[in-house]
Amino acid sequence: MSNNKELFKNFINDNEVFEKAMSYWEDTVNEIAKGHCIEEELLQKNTFDRDANPILYKHYKSINKSIRIIQEEFEEDSEHLGAWVQKHEEDENHSELVISVELTTDSKPVVETLIKAWFEDLSNDFDETLDNIIS
């Protein structure tokens, strides 16, 4: 039996929990980027709807990469974690890692591994890395 627990329960409906979830993502991605000596370049002040789609977006022009995180509400029947790479809509040379996740104690370390791998990967083919981490 798994001890998997939902993190930031009811974050969509509770302002305080939503702010904590946003802070978690901000702190986590910033810490990982800092460990790789990468700094975000803010294109504009990002403001998002309260649906957590996305809950975080970061743009790193120096490495031609972005990260978009979509946090889904937890559903008991299934656990969702998906990730893919797409071209940035305004720059074909810029790749964006999109992570869609129901954040739990089980999915949290997987997502953190994905983000670390994204910063470490200098190739243009991240799909195999994604498959290895998620599966």
Strands of the sheet containing 91-101, edge to edge, are 56-60, 65-71, 91-101, 81-88
pLDDT at position 1: 41
**Where are the chain's structural domains?**
15-134
pLDDT at position 124: 59
Average pLDDT score over residue span 7-20: 93
**Tokens representing 17?**
């929990």
CB atoms within 10 A of CB 62: 10
Burial 87-113 (b: 16+ CB within 10 A, else e): eeeeeeebbbbbbbbbbbeebeebbee
**What secondary structure does DSSP assign to 26-41, as a single string?**
HHHHHHHHHHTT----
pLDDT digits (tens, 9 = 90+) for 87-135: 877 777 889 999 999 999 999 999 999 999 999 886 656 878 888 888 7
Q: Hey, what amino acid is at 19?
A: E
d(C-alpha 107, C-alpha 113), whole Å = 10
d(C-alpha 67, C-alpha 120), whole Å = 13
pLDDT confidence band for 2 (50 / 70 / 90): low
Q: Which of 4-8, 45-49, 59-63 holds the top average pLDDT?
A: 4-8
pLDDT confidence band for 43 (50 / 70 / 90): low
Q: Is the pLDDT of residue 36 over 70?
A: yes
pLDDT digits (tens, 9 = 90+) for 66-90: 999 999 988 877 778 999 999 877 7
